[in-house]
Structure 1
Amino acid sequence: MSFKGRKDILIERHMEGSLNAKEEEELWRWLNSNRKNQDVFESRISLTLEGKPLPEGVLSEREALSDVKKRIVAHENRHVRLWWRRSAIASAVVLLVLLGFFSQEWGDRGDGVLNVAGSENVILTLSDGNEVALTENVSRLEDVKGKGFVGVWNGKSLSYQANGFQSLSETFNTVRVPSGKRFSITLSDGSQIEMNSETELRYPVVFKGNERNIELLSGEIYCKIAKNKHKPFYVNSSRLRLRVLGTSFNFSAYQNERKSSAVLVEGSVGIIPRNDVFDIKKAILLDPGEALVYDKMIKKVVKSKVRVADYTAWKDGKLIFKTMPLNELLLRLGRWYGVRIEDRTGRGDSYTYSGTFDEESIEEALDALSKLCDFNFRLTDNGVVVE
Structure 2
Amino acid sequence: MTKTSNKKIISKYLDSEASEAEVKQLLNWLEKEKNQITFKNYIKAKLLIDIKFKSFNSQEAVILFLDQIRLMNKNRNKNRFGHWLKYAAVFIAFIGIGYFFVNQNRTSDAIRKQLIISEGDITLELENGDLKIINSKGEEKFINKTGKVIAEQNGNILNYEKENNSKELAYNILTIPNGKKFQIVLSDGTKVHLNAGSSFKYPEKFLNSRNRQVYLLEGEAYFEVMKDAEHPFIVNTDNVNVRVLGTEFNISSYPEDTSINTVLIEGAVSIFSNDKIYDKATSLELKPGFKASWNKTNNNVAVKEVDTDIYTSWKNGKLIFKNIQFNNIIKKLERHYNVTIINNNSKLGKKNYDATFDVETIEEVLSSFNKNYEFEYTIKNNKIIIN
Which TM-score applies when normalising by structure 1?
0.65
Using the alignment, how far apart are the partners of 1:180 and 1:373 within structure 2?
26
Cα distance, 1:305–1:137 mapped onto 2, change above 3 Å? closer
Give 1:84's aligned residue: none
Deviation at 1:291, TM superposition (A): 1.0
Alignment of 1:160-309 (within 5 A): 160-164=160-164, 166-208=165-207, 209-297=209-297, 299-309=299-309
Structure 2 residue 354 is the aligned partner of structure 1 residue 343: no
8 Å Cα contact 1:191-1:225 kept in structure 2: yes
Worse-matched range after superposition: 243-252 or 376-385 = 376-385
SS at match of 2:189: coil
Using the alignment, how far apart are the partners of 1:310 and 1:384 within structure 2?
25
8 Å Cα contact 2:176-2:196 kept in structure 1: yes
Give 2:142's aligned residue: 141
Using the alignment, how far apart are the partners of 1:176 and 1:188 within structure 2?
18
Output one character per residue of 1:280-337: Cα deviation in whole Å (capped at 9) or x when no partner.
1111111111111123356442111111111111111210122322222111011111
Alignment of 1:1-387 (within 5 A): 120-135=120-135, 136=137, 138-143=139-144, 145-164=145-164, 166-208=165-207, 209-297=209-297, 299-346=299-346, 350-387=350-387
Cα distance, 1:367–1:335 mapped onto 2, change above 3 Å? same
SS at match of 2:370: helix
Using the alignment, how far apart are the partners of 1:348 and 1:260 within structure 2?
26
Worse-matched range after superposition: 292-301 or 363-372 = 292-301
Cα distance, 1:141–1:353 mapped onto 2, change above 3 Å? same
Cα distance, 1:378–1:252 mapped onto 2, change above 3 Å? same
Worse-matched range after superposition: 337-346 or 176-185 = 337-346
8 Å Cα contact 1:210-1:230 kept in structure 2: no
Using the alignment, how far apart are the partners of 2:125 and 2:322 within structure 1?
35
Which TM-score applies when normalising by structure 2?
0.65
Deviation at 1:344, TM superposition (A): 2.6
Using the alignment, how far apart are the partners of 2:218 and 2:155 within structure 1?
23
More helix by share: 2
8 Å Cα contact 1:127-1:171 kept in structure 2: yes
Output one character per residue of 1:159-206: Cα deviation in whole Å (capped at 9) or x when no partner.
001324x43210000111111111100000010001111111000000
SS at match of 2:163: helix
Cα distance, 1:327–1:159 mapped onto 2, change above 3 Å? same
CA RMSD of aligned residues (A): 2.1
Cα distance, 1:240–1:323 mapped onto 2, change above 3 Å? farther
Using the alignment, how far apart are the partners of 1:350 and 1:299 within structure 2?
27
Using the alignment, how far apart are the partners of 1:254 and 1:261 within structure 2?
10
Paired amino acid for 2:200: L
Using the alignment, how far apart are the partners of 1:299 and 1:148 within structure 2?
43
Output one character per residue of 1:215-267: Cα deviation in whole Å (capped at 9) or x when no partner.
00111111110111110000010021100001111111112222221111111
Cα distance, 1:336–1:225 mapped onto 2, change above 3 Å? same
Cα distance, 1:374–1:246 mapped onto 2, change above 3 Å? same
Give 1:70's aligned residue: none
SS at match of 2:329: helix
8 Å Cα contact 1:344-1:385 kept in structure 2: yes
8 Å Cα contact 1:147-1:167 kept in structure 2: no
8 Å Cα contact 1:162-1:205 kept in structure 2: no
The gaps in structure 2 that reach 5 residues or longer are 1-117
Deviation at 1:274, TM superposition (A): 2.1
Give 2:11's aligned residue: none
8 Å Cα contact 2:123-2:131 kept in structure 1: yes
Greater RCO structure (CA 8 Å; 6+ sep): 1
Cα distance, 1:298–1:323 mapped onto 2, change above 3 Å? farther
Identity value in percent: 31
8 Å Cα contact 2:222-2:312 kept in structure 1: yes
SS at match of 1:163: coil
8 Å Cα contact 2:327-2:350 kept in structure 1: no
Cα distance, 1:313–1:218 mapped onto 2, change above 3 Å? same
Paired amino acid for 1:228: D
SS at match of 2:310: helix
Paired amino acid for 2:195: N
Paired amino acid for 2:355: G
- Structure showing greater radius of gyration is 1
8 Å Cα contact 2:138-2:154 kept in structure 1: no
SS at match of 1:139: strand
Deviation at 1:350, TM superposition (A): 4.8
